[in-house]
Chains A and B, each alone.
Chain A
Amino acid sequence: MPVEKVTEKWKSSVNVVTIGNGNSAIKVGGETTLPFLYDEGKMPHRPVIALEVYDMVPEGWSDTLCDALQDVINDPVAWAKKAQDEWGADLICLRLLKPSVVDTPPKESAQLAKAVKDAVNIPMILWSMAEDEINNKLYSVCSQALAGERCLIGTTKQDNYKILAATCIADGHSVIAESPLDINICKQVNILLSDMGLPSDRIVIYPNNGVLGYGFEYAYSIMERTRIATLGGDRMMAMPIIAVVGSECQRAKEVKATSKEFPQWGPEIERSIAWEAATAVGYLQAGADILTMCHPEAIKLVKNYIDEMMPNI
């Protein structure tokens, strides 16, 4: 007996968010289906990979990753340039650690952000890792320095969103809306940002995520449920999703442990790349539109995967 092909009919789509300007602008979102199910709908835009660049070397990164990044690890501008020219990054994700770790003034971060942006043609994400109080001073200065560049800046949270949202509305940027692995708060932040007057096509959801072996499936199910709600017509869940893969992988024991400690696990270089690539691919299947990654070899693998999954784009 022939088996009837069961396809789901969806009535809505993910918002399209544009990051960057002119020819180098990148569009994400627009899906009318769960990932890669072309019988049910379309994925008009490829998921994209942002390479994580830091204003200082994060503590606890594995030797494997530091080796891969070589000489540029201490020079964010060169790092970004190499990400674009050699490692195939679609965007740069500049992550700011210094303001919280060594208390640098906002102006210094803004200068760096501008220098990084000027060094590359690809669009930029600016992501501060500091506490709210520092961020609120930092955002406006950095946002102004990048005014008109249509960056993606983050993050806003349920209890701290007004300053960044207002700044981004004024300077033409989009906003990352963060929630603590909680789909109800995820929706709430989107509503709060929309109520501020930020157009919904300038919001990207960051639901928070772990990596393979560290709560991966929890974030996966939140992303998937977000997408099902989007496609079912919930406009306050219809924003593209960003997942942080690279730096989160650097926290995994399976990435950091040396092969001397665990000879049966195999060489750490393979583990390091495989962990990042596997996590990334998993989140693509969950519905992520933007991945931030660190290891150039892992990026290559994931880009190949996207090519294979999206033969027509």
Chain B
Amino acid sequence: MIVIGERINGMFSDVKNAIKTEDKEVIQKLAIKQVKAGADVLDVNVGPASAKPEVTMPWLVETIQEVTDTQLALDSPKLDVIKSGLEVVKTPPIINSTQADPQKMQTYFDLVNETGASIIALTVDKQGVPQDIDRRMELASTIVMSAMEMGISFDRLFIDPIILPVNVAQPQAGFLLKALAQFQYLADPPPHFVVGLSNVSQGTMEKKLINRTFLVMCMAMGLDAAIMDPFDKELMDAMITAEVLMNKQIYSDSFLTAYISK
């Protein structure tokens, strides 16, 4: 499982304040702590914290790189913000994200080819987030086809089938699970599949329980990456246990400890 740590995001007040006061230490501590907790990749999202995200993004990237070599996921809906991060990033990052429009994919996949980055592609187009299984499948096929045409290897492609909050769109979680199962047949070997996990529980009262239950269900359907909170120990433990049950990690009596020190 590829754990993309979600905590460096301007939506969180500690990060927001750190961006405003240019307090590197807060960001760097979050980076190191997430890696120690089991994050394989660190998401970097300026969020609403800065009026000049194209300045803040490279500052965040450089700040993090001072303390860790961990791969970063440059997270912004704006291309120029992604580009500003790409200019300073040392290890080819994950670009988060493109939508499934042909033109957007062309632009972003070109960028991927130029920089050696990986990319998250959302199953969303101009018509918005798909409301059923078939439309998700259709958009995922479009993404896979255009990645193939542009010579992007599938180990660098992450498809995000978009999860909506369960208190807003309750049938969607089930649709997403069924879509994930079908995605496995898109290609052999398939690309990665990722969700922004915390979205499923947004605005609910039992966020952590919903997150970890949904993560395990998604993993059973073939999810192999998630943007998630590595500080949530019960979430991490549920994820590790699911990997063991799916025979992706070798069982040992101390399998929880073993995963984190991997």
Q: Do chains A and B stick together as partners?
A: yes
> Could you tell me which A residues sit within 8 Å of B by CB distance?
9, 183-188, 191-192, 194-195, 225, 229, 233-237
The yes or no answer to B254 lying at the interface (CB within 8 A) is yes
B212 vs chain A, min Cβ distance (A): 22
By the criterion CB–CB under 8 Å, are A185 and B261 in contact? Answer: no
Contact of B249 among A195, A225, A234 (CB under 8 A): A234
> Residue on A with the closest CB to B262?
A235
- A184 contacts B254, C-beta separation under 8 Å: no
**Bound-complex Cα distance A221 to B86 (A):** 44
- CB pair B257–A229 under 8 Å, yes or no, is no
What's the Cα separation between A233 and B253 when bound, in Å?
19
Tell me which residues across on chain B come within 8 A of A195, comparing CB atoms: 254, 257
Contact of A237 among B250, B253, B254, B257 (CB under 8 A): B250
Q: Are B250 and A192 in contact (CB-based, < 8 A)?
A: no
Q: Which of these, A188, A229, A234, contacts B253 with CB under 8 Å? A: A188
Shortest Cβ-Cβ A-B pairs, 4 listed: A187-B252, A188-B252, A236-B258, A191-B254
B155 on interface, CB distance cutoff 8 Å: yes
Measuring CB to CB, which residues of chain B are less than 8 angstroms from any residue of chain A? 155, 249-255, 257-258, 261-262
Contact between chains at A187 and B257 (CB < 8 Å): no
Q: How far is the CB of A281 from chain B (nearest CB, A)?
A: 26
Q: How far is the CA of A195 from the CA of B262 in the complex (A)?
A: 13
Q: Report the bound CA distance from A234 to B257 in whole Å.
A: 12
Question: Which residues does chain A contribute within 8 Å of B249, judged by CB atoms?
Answer: 229, 234
A191 touches B257 (CB 8 A): yes
Report Cα–Cα, A233/B258, bound state, in Å. 11
Q: Which residues of A contact B262 (CB under 8 A)?
A: 233-236
Instruction: Supply 26 A–B pairs (Cβ within 8 Å), ascending by A.
Output: A9-B155, A183-B250, A184-B250, A184-B251, A184-B253, A185-B252, A186-B252, A187-B250, A187-B251, A187-B252, A187-B258, A188-B252, A191-B252, A191-B254, A191-B261, A194-B261, A195-B257, A233-B262, A234-B249, A234-B250, A234-B262, A235-B261, A235-B262, A236-B258, A236-B261, A236-B262
Of all chain A residues, the one with the shortest Cβ separation from B251 is A184
Residues of chain B contacted by A236 (CB below 8 angstroms): 252, 258, 261-262
CB A200 to nearest CB in B, in angstroms, measures: 9
Min CB gap A230→B, angstroms: 10
Contacting residues, chain A, for B251 (C-beta < 8 A):
184, 187
Chain A residues in 8 Å Cβ range of B255: 187
Nearest chain-A residue to B254 (Cβ)? A191
- Residues of B contacting A187 with CB < 8 Å? 250-252, 255, 258
Question: Quick one: which of B155, B255, B262 has the most chain A CB within 10 A?
Answer: B262
6 further A-B contacts with Cβ under 8 Å, apart from A188-B253, A195-B254, are A185-B252, A186-B252, A187-B251, A187-B252, A195-B257, A235-B261
Contacts of B254 in A (CB 8 A): 188, 191-192, 195
User: Considering only CB atoms, which chain A residue lies closest to B257 in the complex?
Assistant: A191
In the bound complex, CA of A233 to CA of B261 (Å): 11
Q: Which residue of B lies closest to A158 (CB)?
A: B253
The residue of chain A having its C-beta at the shortest distance from the C-beta of B248 within the complex is A232
Name the residue of chain A whose CB is nearest to the CB of B155.
Answer: A9
Chain B residues, Cβ within 8 Å of A192: 254
Whole-angstrom distance between the alpha carbons of A195 and B251 in the complex? 17
Give the Cβ gap from A173 to chain B, nearest Cβ, in Å.
22
A contact residues around B258 at 8 Å (CB): 187, 191, 234, 236
What residues of chain A lie closer than 8 Å to B252, measured between beta carbons?
A: 184-188, 191, 236
Nearest CB in chain B to that of A189: its residue: B252
Whole-angstrom distance between the alpha carbons of A237 and B249 in the complex?
10
Say how far B79's CB is from chain A's closest CB, in angstroms: 29
Q: How far is the CB of B62 from chain A (nearest CB, A)?
A: 26
CB-nearest residue of chain B to A185? B252
The docked-state distance in angstroms from the alpha carbon of A194 to that of B242 is: 24
Q: Which chain A residues lie closer than 8 Å to B253 at the CB level?
A: 184, 188
Q: Smallest Cβ distance from B208 to chain A, in angstroms?
A: 27
In whole angstroms, how far apart are the Cα atoms of A236 and B249 in the complex? 10
Closest B residue by C-beta to A8: B189
